[in-house]
A and B are shown apart, each in its own frame.
Chain A
Amino acid sequence: MSVNDLFKQELKVVNLGLKSFHNDLKSQGVTVVQVNWKPKAGGKKNMLDLLSKINKVKKS
């Protein structure tokens, strides 16, 4: 569904994150669903950051 198609439809929103955005949309009569969001399990990015910090400390 292209952008121009979107312009012809009724806006129906899924909100992930700040509740206030959901509340504002709701108060304007927009159909909106709030997701009870939690981060997905898995993913190593922060661990890598942490490990490199620990490695630096170990070497010094």
Chain B
Amino acid sequence: MREIFAKTVADDLVEFLQKHPGQLASVHSVFPHAVNILVGENDLVTLTNLDDITPMGLRVDCGVSFAELLKAGDKVMLDTDRFAAADETFSVHLRKAQVWESKLRMNLAARPAEDGAQVRRTLVSWLGEQPAQGLLPLLPRLTHQSPRNRPAADNLYSRYIAGDLEAFTDAVKKSNWEHALTRADRLIGFGMGSTPACDDFLAAYLVVFNIAEVLNPGYISWIREFNQAIATKAKYRTTLISANMLRHAADGKISRSHQELIQACLFENENDLVQLAHRVMQHGATSGGDFLLGLVCALEWYHHIMTNTGKEGERAWVELNQLQPVPGI
């Protein structure tokens, strides 16, 4: 019997276990550094052995690949203080785990518009230097840089979806949320990977929308409906793993590494932006990059509406639409 100890547990998982003690669940998918356990019909609990944690998740200190302990279909019993494999080969102890707040703390001072714009430019510039995989070949186009680069010839998916992504980001910028929702129909579930590329892109938007709404209650009233609509569509249109991710994102919840980056973008704090972006970039194979692309687009929207009053708004608009040199290409 292998005993593993949880270092951190997400607050929503704690709540869930308290409400539903003694649940029998089954392993949904196994990766070297993560395991998804299916509870009920649609909900996934995620264990990871890396220095990160997801909503409805646990971080464990386990020196072995999960593939050595579990395979898809194995039965696991979930209880408030421990998880145990039905065949008694291992158990995870939760009692000493620290609790992680899955929703972003918003008690810090929000960044002023100018700083925020600078932060976004730093991110865009850094992203431009990363390997152009997943949706990243579309970075110049979606951030209005010149020249309009053609995406890498072998990236069929990003070539195909470029127009739809642009239509979506344009609709959002114009606060035309009904149109944006229709456009999102062309994005949910599209792309390679266990979390299709466009879902990672949308997740960034959902989290930024959520934060914007909380910081400015009543000001952007369409966000709640929009986020819920996306989460509902995702349930049937995309992989289970991705649907869970989008559902959490709609509530403003995302894995800690991504959360810390978004926090650094929107609030005053002492963290190293590029280091945080780097950590997100290494998430999944291209998921991190796709999320980051969505983030810089969502941040553009955010700054646009935050500075959208009178003269200030005009200056911000000019700033945002300035042609930027594309680094390293």
Interface of A with B (CB < 8 Å)? 36-39, 41-47, 50, 53-54, 57-58
Contacts and interface: CB of A to CB of B under 8 A. Distances in A.
Contacts of A54: 114-115, 118
Contacts of B41: none
3 tightest A-B contacts by CB? A46-B272, A39-B275, A46-B274
A20 B279 CA distance: 20
B71 interface: no
Interface in B247-277: 260, 270-275
A57 B33 contact: no
B118 A53 contact: yes
B122 interface: yes
Contact of B272 (A47, A57, A58): A47
B270 A38 contact: no
A44 B270 contact: yes
Contact of A47 (B33, B114, B270): B270
B282 interface: yes
Given A38-B282, A57-B114, A57-B118, 19 more contacts: A38-B278, A39-B278, A39-B279, A41-B51, A41-B271, A41-B275, A41-B279, A42-B272, A43-B272, A43-B275, A44-B270, A45-B272, A46-B273, A47-B273, A50-B122, A54-B114, A54-B115, A54-B118, A58-B114
A41 B269 CA distance: 13
